[in-house]
């Protein structure tokens, strides 16, 4: 017979059911809390905060949180107390963890700054794309030396900076590459610099191997560079072509290639079983040959040399400096047009006595003498002169614009030396030429990616550096707003012309796509306010919604 459930029994069952539900809810709640706590602990361990970690472990033991079921037996009230205690503790631990994170960030900033200073202090002065400098740069890639390459203004202007007394005081020849270390140690001569920046693996430790490295470094300088210069420079339009000298140079190159090919018949690298300074020096000295004139038919008898060269330039450390090296497909010939274009103008300051020294083999010297009788412009250049001659001829992307009445330099001087609100700004609006210049508002597109403020500032200054050549025709004040992990970047730019200047040159396009750009109407109130606030680094910055943190000026 089925026993009927009495009223009391029914009630008791319902009560038990409710209790069971309550228990389940509490278990869930506690599990969630424990999970949060574990997460927090993991965060703290991650942030290396052993004191806090210890406190939490102690609390966990005290409250028996790890013993699964014990807590369940506690009455709900006690459990709730426990939960709120945990909550309080979460708040406290959060604050402590945040403080710790803050400390760690400061430490990170300090380290970063020290690193930057270190990098900034190991300086290599050169002109861009100097194959002599590549030797040192590649050696530094292997050894891990952090180098700052000063090759463009304002850090270094070839033909100017290297002729100043301050530079000559440190480097009496006034030649580049030139190295200055963080300890003030100065070196000239590219081979010495590359040697200094190498590690022991590149230099080799045994006297024999070290001497072999030196042998190949000298081989590059005396057997490869002179004929290479005679043969290649005319094809670059930086030296007058001389048939006889070129033919002799080709023979000399063949001789060097034969020696190398023979040596590399049974070897992967020039010395020992790994890349050394020997490979770096010889490969760099052959860069122009392989890029300009060693067409497949010419290099065909020297397969070991080409195999070795290709192996070298494809090493990551070489690639990081040289980029992709494309081997010559068709032997370049004398570029007469370029040669005449590149002749130094009459008003170019006379270059000190040195030209063509490495190219000047005895026979070449005789040729030169004959040519000296001829009138200009046959004066010979070397690769250094070529850099100098090419520099001012770089196509001016603003050349098509008619002259403007607004003198950017004058405004920049006012901005740098005088009060912004009372002098620089009135000067700006008094002289600003709406036809010749435009004003733009820029805003960084990815503020959610901005973390530490010093990193965001590096983003701004990095952009400024990459836009170095634009300085004459632009001015900007860019501001970082907010704090770590909650910031934004925006700025006001003044450009020559009515278009965004970045599109005028490929070199300028690295950063600009990361920003939204809006041309401002220079007569509008909005523009007036923005120019005022961004130039003066003060004001409401209503459109931003975050407090001013710091500003950077491109001038
Ligand atoms: N043997 C030196 C040659 C250096 C050299 O000739 N440098 C030239 C540039 S290619 C230079 O700085 N010339 C100074 C000038 O023309 O003002 C080295 O390997 O470093």
Ligand 1 pocket test: pick from 160, 176, 284 the residue with the most ligand atoms within 8 Å of its Cβ.
Answer: 176
Q: Are 187 and 295 within one domain?
A: no
The pLDDT tens digits for 74-95 are 544 555 565 666 667 667 766 7
Compute the average pLDDT of residues 232-240. Answer: 91
Ligand 1 pocket test: pick from 222, 344, 384 the residue with the most ligand atoms within 8 Å of its Cβ.
Answer: 384
Q: Are 131 and 171 within one domain?
A: yes
Q: Residue 455 has what pLDDT?
A: 81
Q: Are 110 and 130 within one domain?
A: no
**Chain-centre distance for alpha carbon 149:** 10
Ligand 1 in reach of 287 Cβ (< 6 A): no
Q: Are 37 and 135 within one domain?
A: no
Residue 336 maps to a domain: no
The pLDDT tens digits for 164-212 are 989 999 999 999 999 999 889 999 999 999 999 999 999 999 999 999 9
Give the residue from 313, 337, 354 where a domain finishes.
313
Q: Using a pLDDT cut of 70, give the percent of the chain over it.
A: 71
Q: Are 107 and 128 within one domain?
A: no
The band of 400, judged by pLDDT with boundaries at 50, 70 and 90, is confident
Whole-number Å distance between alpha carbons of 313 and 317: 8
Compute the average pLDDT of residues 252-263. Answer: 98
Give the residue from 83, 103, 118 where a domain finishes.
118
Ligand 1 atom showing the smallest separation from residue 159 Cα: 17
Ligand 1 in reach of 356 Cβ (< 6 A): no
Residue 359 maps to a domain: no
**Verdict on whether the full-model pTM lies above 0.75:** no
Q: Residue 23 has what pLDDT?
A: 64
Q: Residue 376 has what pLDDT?
A: 39
Residue 62 lies in domain: 2-118
Ligand 1 atom showing the smallest separation from residue 191 Cα: 19
| 356 or 416, greater pLDDT | 416
Q: Are 71 and 131 within one domain?
A: no
Q: Are 141 and 227 within one domain?
A: no
Ligand 1 atom showing the smallest separation from residue 158 Cα: 17
Q: How far is the CA of 127 from the centre of ligand 1 (A)?
A: 10
The pLDDT tens digits for 335-344 are 888 888 876 5
Q: How far is the CA of 351 from the centre of ligand 1 (A)?
A: 12
Q: How far is the CA of 1 from the centre of ligand 1 (A)?
A: 113
Ligand 1 in reach of 132 Cβ (< 6 A): yes
Give the residue from 80, 103, 118 where a domain finishes.
118
Among protein residues, the one whose CA lies closest to atom 10 of ligand 1: 384
Q: Are 104 and 55 within one domain?
A: yes
Lowest pLDDT segment from 32-46, 192-206, 240-254, 484-498 = 32-46
Is 150 a residue whose pLDDT tops 70? yes
Q: Residue 248 has what pLDDT?
A: 97
Q: Residue 380 has what pLDDT?
A: 57
Of 406, 412, 453, give the one whose Cα is nearest residue 430.
406
Q: Are 109 and 140 within one domain?
A: no
Q: Are 267 and 281 within one domain?
A: yes
Domain count of the fold of the chain? 4
Ligand 1 in reach of 162 Cβ (< 6 A): yes
Whole-number Å distance between alpha carbons of 476 and 494: 6
- 3-state SS of 134-167 is HHHHHHHHHHCCCCEEECCCCCCCCCCHHHCHHH
Q: Are 161 and 271 within one domain?
A: no
Q: Are 418 and 545 within one domain?
A: yes
Residue 349 maps to a domain: no
The pLDDT tens digits for 354-391 are 434 444 333 333 333 333 333 333 445 667 766 666 55
Q: Using a pLDDT cut of 90, give the percent of the chain over it.
A: 50
Ligand 1 in reach of 279 Cβ (< 6 A): no
Whole-number Å distance between alpha carbons of 88 and 70: 22
Whole-number Å distance between alpha carbons of 460 and 193: 32
């Amino acid at each position: 017979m089925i026993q009927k459930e009495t009223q009391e029994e029914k009630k008791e069952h319902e009560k038990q059911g409710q209790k069971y539900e309550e228990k389940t809810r509490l278990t869930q709640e506690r599990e969630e809390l424990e999970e949060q706590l574990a997460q927090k602990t993991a965060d703290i361990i991650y942030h290396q905060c052993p004191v806090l970690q210890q406190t939490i472990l102690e609390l966990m033991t005290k409250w028996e949180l790890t013993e699964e079921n014990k807590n369940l037996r506690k009455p709900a009230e006690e459990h709730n107390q426990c939960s709120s205690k945990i909550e309080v503790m979460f708040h406290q631990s959060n604050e402590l963890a945040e403080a710790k994170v803050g400390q760690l960030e400061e430490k990170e900033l300090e380290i970063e700054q020290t690193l930057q200073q270190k990098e900034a202090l190991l300086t290599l002065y050169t002109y861009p794309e100097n194959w002599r400098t590549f030797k040192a740069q590649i050696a530094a890639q292997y050894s891990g030396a952090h180098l700052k390459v000063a090759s463009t203004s304002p850090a270094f202007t070839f033909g100017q900076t290297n002729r100043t007394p301050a530079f000559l005081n440190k480097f009496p020849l006034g030649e580049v590459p030139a190295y200055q270390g963080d300890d003030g140690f100065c070196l000239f001569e590219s081979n010495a610099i590359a040697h200094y920046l190498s590690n022991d693996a590149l230099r080799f430790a045994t006297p024999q191997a070290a001497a072999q490295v030196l042998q190949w470094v000298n081989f590059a300088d005396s057997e490869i560079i002179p004929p290479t210069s005679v043969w290649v420079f005319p094809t670059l339009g930086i030296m007058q072509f001389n048939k006889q000298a070129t033919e002799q140079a080709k023979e000399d190159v063949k001789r060097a290639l034969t020696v190398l090919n023979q040596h590399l018949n049974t070897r992967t690298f020039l010395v020992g079983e790994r890349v050394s300074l020997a490979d770096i020096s010889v490969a760099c000295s052959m860069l122009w040959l392989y890029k300009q004139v060693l067409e497949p038919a010419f290099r065909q008898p020297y397969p070991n040399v080409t195999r070795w060269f290709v192996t070298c330039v494809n090493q990551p450390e070489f690639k990081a400096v040289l980029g992709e090296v494309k081997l010559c497909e068709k032997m370049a010939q004398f570029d007469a047009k370029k040669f005449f274009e590149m002749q130094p103008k009459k008003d170019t300051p006379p270059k000190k006595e040195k030209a063509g020294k490495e190219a000047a083999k005895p026979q070449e010297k005789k040729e030169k003498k004959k040519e000296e009788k001829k009138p200009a412009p046959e004066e010979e250049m070397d690769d250094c002169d070529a850099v100098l001659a090419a520099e001012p001829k770089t196509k001016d992307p603003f050349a098509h614009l008619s002259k403007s009445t607004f003198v950017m330099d004058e405004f920049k001087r006012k901005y740098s030396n005088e009060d912004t609100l009372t002098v620089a700004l009135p000067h700006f609006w008094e002289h600003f030429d709406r036809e010749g210049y435009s004003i733009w508002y820029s805003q960084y597109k990815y503020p959610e990616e901005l973390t530490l403020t010093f990193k965001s500032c590096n983003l701004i200054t990095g952009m400024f550096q990459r836009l170095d050549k634009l300085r004459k025709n632009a001015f900007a004040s860019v501001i970082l707003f907010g704090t770590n992990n909650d910031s934004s970047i925006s700025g006001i730019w003044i450009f020559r012309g009515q278009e965004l200047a970045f599109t005028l040159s490929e070199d300028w396009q690295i950063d600009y796509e990361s920003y939204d750009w809006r041309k401002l109407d220079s007569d509008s109130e909005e523009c007036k306010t923005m120019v005022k606030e961004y130039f003066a680094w003060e004001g409401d910055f209503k459109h931003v919604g975050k407090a001013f943190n710091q500003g950077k000026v491109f001038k």
